Amino acid sequence: MGVKKEGQVGIDCQQLVYAYSTEPILQDITVTIPKNSFTIIVGPNGAGKTTFLRLLGGLLTPQKGCIYMGGETVESCQKAGHIHLVPQLYNRNAAQFPATVEEVVGLAFRMGAPKEGKSTKEQIHKALHLVGMAGLAKRRIGDLSGGQQQRVMLAQALLCKPTYLLLDEPTSGVDMEGSAHIFNLLKKIQEENQMTIVMVTHDIDDASKVADYTLCIDRHVCYFGDCKGFLTSHTGKKLAWHMGVL
């Protein structure tokens, strides 16, 4: 499981244990995700991927173990606005939210996104332009397709400029072309803004093309290392076959 040791530590998880009831969904998760890297979390259904992401976001608290992000606790990172979450599409109230695309993106400023020289409206339109949604700024978010809504959420994340961007299956319900576009966009955002991205996904094949690392979880860490290595590993082949990728 070869992870390059150079560079600073982004997210450091030590012996995490989490259980919703008596049986732990996550057991002894120890992993160090390098700073400014793009990591995808893969694994079978019910493996604890989303639970792990929710632990990173501070939505759940581990029963054992600890998480440090750039040396700080998750709570202090939250308070400082260093983390941003793009949740699963079906979890969101967005479809019924009576707001235009530019209003939704503008929520970033209400979460403490930095205001730069130009007006907030200009910043919003720049972000929308980057995700290819500038033409739909006045449309209601609920009128957009799943893929378009995800791009709007990415534009919001872009304005927040978080140090840590967490995404939970951002391409679920999005077609293959749309998925590839979102992954490429994420890579671009990550490189330009020096972010640490952690993304739960089922699109192993496409996501591996842009990500730096793969973390495979099945209640414990099955693999953590470079994406190419994962796809050629026994675990990777087994998971890819199981998910119908290969």
Task: Note the residues at the interface with another protein (CB under 8 A).
Answer: 57-59, 78-81, 83-87, 91-94, 96-100, 102-104, 107, 110-112, 138, 140, 160, 166
Name which of 111 and 176 has its Cβ closer to another protein: 111
Name which of 17 and 59 has its Cβ closer to another protein: 59
Name which of 92 and 238 has its Cβ closer to another protein: 92
CB atoms within 10 A of CB 178: 17
Least gap, CB of 24 to another protein (angstroms): 21
Would you state the structure tokens that stand for residue 147, as one six-digit string? 């893929």
CA distance 201 to 56: 16
Least gap, CB of 223 to another protein (angstroms): 26
Name which of 78 and 233 has its Cβ closer to another protein: 78
Least gap, CB of 65 to another protein (angstroms): 19
Q: How many CA atoms lie within 13 A of 101 on its CB side?
A: 25
Query: Residue 2 corresponds to which amino acid?
Result: G
Least gap, CB of 124 to another protein (angstroms): 13
Strand arrangement, sheet containing 24-34 = 24-34, 9-19, 64-69, 72-73
Beta strands at 213-217 and 221-226: parallel, antiparallel or unpaired: antiparallel
